[in-house]
Amino acid sequence: MNLKEKNDLSTENGLPYNYNYKVYIYMYYIIQTENLLAALQKTITVIEKRQTLPILANVLLICDEDRLKLKATDLEIEIGSEAILLETHETGEITVPARKLFDICRTLPADSQIKFTLKEGRVYIVSNRSRFVLSTLPATEYPVLDALQNPTVFKISQSALKKLLDKTAFAMAQQDVRYYLNGLLLEINSNSIKSVTTDGHRLALSSVEQSLNIDSSQQIILPRKGIIELLRLIDDSDDEVEISLTSNHIQVELKNARFISKLIDGKFPDYSRVLPSDCPNMMLVNREQLRGALIRTAILTNDKYKGVRFQLDNHLLKIKTHNPEKEEAEEELEVNYPGSAVEVGFNINYLMDILNVIDSELVQFNLKDSGSSCLIHNEGDTTSQYVVMPMRL
């Protein structure tokens, strides 16, 4: 086929040259590249690198009167977004390879315009002197999650939601056989929302006070990938998002995007049971000093074995590590510790993860002994709490 002859869409009136020759055009619009790119960025991260069905590599494009709606899915999660169109000549819907469309938009100048035409099962993309022809699959075959039936609906500010996820997402399990740990527990009560994650060795819990107009408290588990996608969509603003819940789906409605995810069907362990209540030894330590000491001592630990020894006595914290080559590191920190002498081992990675989400200058450690869990939180503030099991020394 002669590409130039058949596909040359450059015309004077903005229409494909053969528009007048009664070739039916199913979809035709013009859009600002940066608008399309922004909408694509929101959705296509959900698309897996390898798909079980060919159509799952595609993004669904629906051209309405003045808006382009996009949807991408991996059958577990669906993300929809919107972009404003400059001109709409023919409405319609189609799916195209998402990654390729994204790469085209990404590399075109941001202020350029894209003419997007669908005819005879192929999509023609023209911008200035760049031309692309993409294969398509029919929109009717695209798997779209159904609308939620009788959901529980409430509103929460983006910043509050972001805090709940940010403070706890790191402690989710990864590919654990206890599948219900590979996600985040969201507990919705009439006056608060709590998020909890655990991988069996550590636990993170964060809560937000908010009065909600709901009848009974509800616990749901969001899958790990859904949390990562959702964190990409929300920011620190005070804009409200609307959350709808059913027993097996969650939908988060944002200004220009909609996130729907299946939930993990399982019983999350009773987190209140593992929050230690009896921790007689309290230590206050400067967060940045502790972080620096841990980074340095971690150099002389092993790849897979990140054990660190804490020796606490009389306002002094000694941090020690060693590795199989018998190399050793030791740091001393002045801390506020009036308690009795304690020696306890920790996994450095777990402590670093916690220090990354703690925002007060001083960190509070509540310890008992070398075999009991340790409770860590911001100084004097327990809205976010972290429990770490020690390592055997």
Partner 1 sequence: MNVYPDKLPASLKKHIAPIYLIYGDEPLQMREAVDAVRARVRAEGYLEREVLDVTPEFRWDQLQSSADSLSLFSSRRLLDLRLPSGKPGAQGSQALRDYAQRPPEDAVLLISCGKLDKSALKGAWFKALDALGVTVAVREIPRAQLPQWLNRRLLARGLHFSEEAVALLVERVQGNLLAAMQEVEKLELLHGKGNISAEQVEQAVADSARFSLYALSEAVLLGDIERVLRVFYGLQAEGTAANLLLWLLSRDLRLLAQLSFPAGALPMAKLGIWSSQQGFYQAALKRLSYAKTLRLLQRCAQIERLVKGQEKGDAWQALLQLALTMAGFRVLKR
Per CB under 8 A, residues contacting partner 1 are 177, 198, 200-203, 269, 274, 302-307, 345, 347, 371, 373, 387, 389-393
CB of 281 to partner 1, least distance (A): 18
How far apart, in whole angstroms, are the C-alpha atoms of residue 393 and residue 388?
Answer: 15
CB of 223 to partner 1, least distance (A): 20
* Minimum CB distance to partner 1 smaller for 12 or for 278: 278
The identity of residue 292, as a single letter, is G
How far apart, in whole angstroms, are the C-alpha atoms of residue 251 and residue 89?
Answer: 32
In DSSP terms, which residues pair with 307 in a beta bridge? 347
CB of 311 to partner 1, least distance (A): 17
DSSP string, 98-134: HHHHHHHHHHS-TT-EEEEEEETTEEEEEETTEEEEE
CB of 296 to partner 1, least distance (A): 21
How far apart, in whole angstroms, are the C-alpha atoms of residue 335 and residue 187?
Answer: 35
Residue 98: other Cβ atoms inside 10 A: 22
* Minimum CB distance to partner 1 smaller for 174 or for 216: 174
CB of 305 to partner 1, least distance (A): 5
* Minimum CB distance to partner 1 smaller for 29 or for 268: 268
* Minimum CB distance to partner 1 smaller for 129 or for 392: 392
* Minimum CB distance to partner 1 smaller for 79 or for 205: 205
* Minimum CB distance to partner 1 smaller for 231 or for 275: 275
Write the DSSP symbol of residue 22.
T
CB of 348 to partner 1, least distance (A): 12
CB of 31 to partner 1, least distance (A): 45
258, 276, 252, 270: which is closest to 187 by C-alpha? Answer: 270
* Minimum CB distance to partner 1 smaller for 42 or for 202: 202
Which distant-in-sequence residues (6+ apart) come within 8 Å of 13 by Cβ?
Answer: none
* Minimum CB distance to partner 1 smaller for 196 or for 317: 196
Residue 145: other Cβ atoms inside 10 A: 17
How far apart, in whole angstroms, are the C-alpha atoms of residue 176 and residue 199?
Answer: 8
Which distant-in-sequence residues (6+ apart) come within 8 Å of 31 by Cβ?
Answer: 68, 83, 84, 85, 86, 113, 114, 116
190 contacts 149 by C-beta, under 8 angstroms: no
CB of 388 to partner 1, least distance (A): 9
* Minimum CB distance to partner 1 smaller for 31 or for 181: 181
* Minimum CB distance to partner 1 smaller for 94 or for 203: 203
CB of 132 to partner 1, least distance (A): 40
Buried b (16+ CB within 10 A) or exposed e, 256-285: ebbbbbbbbeeebbebeeeeeeebebebbb
How far apart, in whole angstroms, are the C-alpha atoms of residue 184 and residue 127?
Answer: 43
CB of 178 to partner 1, least distance (A): 9
The residue with tokens 């362990």 is: 269
Write the DSSP symbol of residue 369.
-
**Structure tokens belonging to residue 375:** 């409770």
